[in-house]
C-alpha cells in the first residue's frame, strides 16, 4: 500500500464526461489499495473566463479580489469530482484551500505556499476517504484567499504530496511522459523512464511545457517523487503503477535506477526569446551594469549574454536575450537610458530560437559541446550565441532552423529510437 497524490489539469476536468473518466482513474488507484488525494485544476477555459471578468471590472484590479474570483474555478471542479467519486461508490470529500488550510504568503495572484496543515487530511485519507483538493489556491495569515499564479496546480499537488509524505505525486497531463525531445518535431523521440529534477528544470525552462518549473523546484527541495503520465489512458487499463510515464527523481535515485543511461537526456527548443544587441559601447567598468541593472529592477529575466571582444577604439558590442513578452519594455527602458549607457545603436531580433542539450551525464564527460557545434556546423547552421551550465549547453540560432537543428542533434547524440 502506498500513499499517492494525483493531479489532473484543466483539459482532464473539462465537463461531466471527462470528470467521470478522472473519477474512474482515481477509483482504480484506491482499489489497488492506495491512500489517495487528488488535486484538480479548473475546467479548461474557466480561469480565462474569470480573468476576463476581472480585467473588464478594473484593468488595475485588486489582486486580493482577483484571487476571490479566479479561485472559484477549482472550487467547482473539486466539489464535482468528489460527487463523481461518490457516484462510483467511493468515500470522498473536497478540502478547499482555506479549509485545510494551505498557508501562503500574501503576494496575491502569485502567492507562495508556506505550509499545509495535514492532520485532518491524513485522518480522512486514513479512514479510506479520497481527498479532493482544489489546486492553485491558498490562504493568507489574515484569512484571505490567494492563488499561486497560472499553472500553480502542479505546485499545489507537489506541496500536498510533501505535506502528507506521499510515496509518489502523479501528474496527469495531455502527454504520456517526458520525451527526449518534442515528438512533433522528431518522430523517433523516445519517452524517458526517468529524469532528474535538475534535468527536468532545464528541459522545462527551455520549452518542454510538461510541468510548471516551480513545481519541479519544490519537488526537488522536498524530495517528492513526481511521475508524469497521461490522463487519456484507456478506461479499462490497469492502475497507473503498471503503465508508468516518466519518473522525476533525485540524482542518487537515478543512479540506482538507470546505470546505462545516455550521456544526453533530451533536447529542447525555445522560440520565446528575443535577441537584443547594443553596438559600440565604451569598453569600461560599469558599462554592463548600466545595461542590466535597470532590466533586473524591472524584473526582466535576461538569459544569454555575449560581450564581443573589444574593437580598436575601446568599444564593444553587447548581445543578450530576453523573453519576447518583455522585448517592448526592454527596448523602452534602454532607449530612455541611451545617453547613460552610451551605445550607438540598438538592434532587436525575435526570429531566434534557443536549442539546448541537457543531461546530468555531461558533468563527467568532456566533448558534449564540441559534438553540438560540429553537428550544427556540418549542416550549415550558424550559432549566434552560446551559454552553458553544468548539465546543459544552449545555442541561439535562426528560428527557421529550429526543427532541423533539433533533428540533427537528436541523431548526433544517439537519442533516436526505433
Q: Is 271 annotated as a binding residue?
A: no
- How far apart are CB 77 and a copy of itself at their closest, in Å? 9
Binding segment toward a copy of itself, per CB under 8 A, in 85-93, 225-233, 268-276, 311-319:
85-93
- How far apart are CB 345 and a copy of itself at their closest, in Å? 41
Residue 53 binding a copy of itself, by CB under 8 A: yes
Binding segment toward a copy of itself, per CB under 8 A, in 81-89, 109-117, 167-175, 409-417:
81-89
Chain positions 141 to 180 lying near a copy of itself, rule: CB under 8 A, are 143-145
Separation of alpha carbons 397 and 228, rounded Å: 30
Q: Is 251 annotated as a binding residue?
A: no
Q: Which residues contact 374 (CB under 8 A, 6 or more apart)?
A: none
Alpha-helical (H) ranges within 58-141 are: 63-70, 72-87, 119-126
Matching residue, cell 568599444: 315
Q: Is 8 annotated as a binding residue?
A: yes
- The burial of 187, by beta-carbon neighbours within 10 Å (0-12 exposed, 13-18 middle, 19 or more buried), is given as exposed
Residue 15 or 223 having the CB closest to a copy of itself:
15
- How far apart are CB 20 and a copy of itself at their closest, in Å? 8
Size of residue set near a copy of itself by CB under 8 A = 39
Binding segment toward a copy of itself, per CB under 8 A, in 87-95, 196-204, 207-215, 342-350:
87-95
Separation of alpha carbons 235 and 244, rounded Å: 15
Residue 62 binding a copy of itself, by CB under 8 A: yes
- How far apart are CB 17 and a copy of itself at their closest, in Å? 9
Residue 185 binding a copy of itself, by CB under 8 A: no
Binding-site member from 11, 32, 51, 72 for a copy of itself (CB under 8 A): 72
- Write out the three cell numbers for 22: 478522472
Residue 84 binding a copy of itself, by CB under 8 A: yes
Residue 82 binding a copy of itself, by CB under 8 A: yes
CB atoms within 10 A of CB 267: 30
Q: Is 379 annotated as a binding residue?
A: no
Binding-site member from 83, 288, 302, 383 for a copy of itself (CB under 8 A): 83
Matching residue, cell 522528431: 186
**Nearest to 178, CA basis, from 196, 154, 161, 160:** 196
Beta-bridge partner residues of 323: 273
Residue 40 binding a copy of itself, by CB under 8 A: no
Residue 147 or 180 having the CB closest to a copy of itself:
147
- The burial of 392, by beta-carbon neighbours within 10 Å (0-12 exposed, 13-18 middle, 19 or more buried), is given as buried
Angle at 80 between CA 78 and CA 82, to 5 degrees: 70
- CB-CB contact of 157 with 7 (8 Å): yes
Q: Which residues contact 380 (CB under 8 A, 6 or more apart)?
A: none
- Write out the three cell numbers for 36: 489517495
Residue 76 binding a copy of itself, by CB under 8 A: yes
- The burial of 329, by beta-carbon neighbours within 10 Å (0-12 exposed, 13-18 middle, 19 or more buried), is given as middle
Residue 78 binding a copy of itself, by CB under 8 A: yes
Question: Prior bond to 101 cis, omega within 30?
Answer: yes
Residue 86 binding a copy of itself, by CB under 8 A: yes
Chain positions 12 to 31 lying near a copy of itself, rule: CB under 8 A, are 16, 19-20
- Write out the three cell numbers for 218: 519544490
- As annotated, the binding site for ATP includes 7-10, 173-174, 179, 184, 209-210
Residues in contact with a copy of itself by the rule CB under 8 A? 16, 19-20, 50, 53-54, 56-58, 60-62, 64-69, 71-73, 75-76, 78-80, 82-84, 86-87, 93-94, 96, 98-99, 143-145
Amino acid at each position: 500500500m502506498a500513499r499517492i497524490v494525483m493531479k489532473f489539469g484543466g483539459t482532464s476536468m473539462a465537463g461531466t464526461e471527462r470528470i467521470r473518466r478522472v473519477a474512474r482513474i482515481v477509483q482504480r488507484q484506491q482499489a489497488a489499495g492506495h491512500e489517495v488525494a487528488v488535486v484538480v485544476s479548473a475546467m479548461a477555459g474557466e480561469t480565462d473566463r474569470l480573468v476576463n471578468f476581472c480585467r473588464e471590472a478594473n484593468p488595475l484590479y485588486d489582486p486580493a479580489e482577483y484571487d476571490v474570483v479566479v479561485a472559484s474555478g477549482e472550487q467547482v471542479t473539486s466539489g464535482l469530482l468528489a460527487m463523481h467519486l461518490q457516484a462510483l461508490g467511493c468515500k470522498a470529500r473536497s478540502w478547499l484551500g482555506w479549509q485545510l488550510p494551505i498557508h501562503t504568503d500574501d503576494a496575491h495572484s502569485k502567492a507562495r505556499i508556506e505550509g499545509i496543515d495535514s492532520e485532518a487530511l491524513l485522518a480522512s485519507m486514513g479512514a479510506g476517504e479520497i481527498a479532493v483538493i482544489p489546486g492553485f489556491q491558498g490562504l493568507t495569515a489574515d484569512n484571505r484567499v490567494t492563488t499561486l499564479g497560472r499553472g500553480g496546480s502542479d505546485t499545489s499537488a507537489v506541496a500536498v504530496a510533501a505535506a502528507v509524505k506521499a510515496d509518489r505525486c502523479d501528474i496527469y497531463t495531455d502527454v504520456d511522459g517526458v520525451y527526449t525531445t518534442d515528438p512533433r518535431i522528431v518522430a523517433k523521440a523516445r519517452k524517458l523512464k526517468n529524469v532528474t529534477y535538475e534535468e527536468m528544470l532545464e528541459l522545462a525552462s527551455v520549452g518542454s511545457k510538461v510541468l510548471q518549473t516551480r513545481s519541479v523546484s519544490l519537488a526537488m527541495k522536498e524530495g517528492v517523487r513526481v511521475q508524469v503520465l497521461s490522463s487519456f489512458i484507456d478506461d479499462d487499463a490497469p492502475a497507473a503503477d503498471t503503465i508508468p510515464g516518466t519518473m522525476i527523481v533525485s540524482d542518487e535515485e537515478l543512479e540506482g535506477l538507470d546505470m546505462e543511461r545516455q550521456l544526453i537526456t533530451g533536447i529542447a527548443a525555445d522560440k520565446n526569446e528575443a535577441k537584443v544587441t547594443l553596438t559600440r559601447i565604451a569598453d569600461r567598468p560599469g558599462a554592463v551594469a548600466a545595461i542590466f541593472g535597470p532590466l533586473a529592477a524591472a524584473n526582466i529575466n535576461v538569459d544569454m549574454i555575449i560581450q564581443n571582444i573589444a574593437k580598436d577604439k575601446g568599444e564593444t558590442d553587447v548581445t543578450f536575450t530576453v523573453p519576447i513578452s518583455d522585448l517592448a519594455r526592454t527596448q523602452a527602458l534602454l532607449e530612455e537610458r541611451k545617453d547613460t549607457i552610451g551605445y550607438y545603436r540598438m538592434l532587436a531580433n525575435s526570429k531566434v530560437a534557443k536549442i539546448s542539450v541537457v543531461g546530468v551525464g555531461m558533468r563527467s564527460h568532456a566533448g558534449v559541446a564540441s559534438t553540438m557545434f560540429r553537428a550544427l556546423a556540418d549542416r550549415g547552421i550558424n550559432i549566434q550565441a552560446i551559454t552553458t551550465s553544468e548539465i546543459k549547453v544552449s545555442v541561439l540560432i535562426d528560428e527557421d532552423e529550429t526543427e532541423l537543428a533539433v533533428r540533427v542533434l537528436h541523431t548526433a547524440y544517439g537519442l533516436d529510437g526505433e
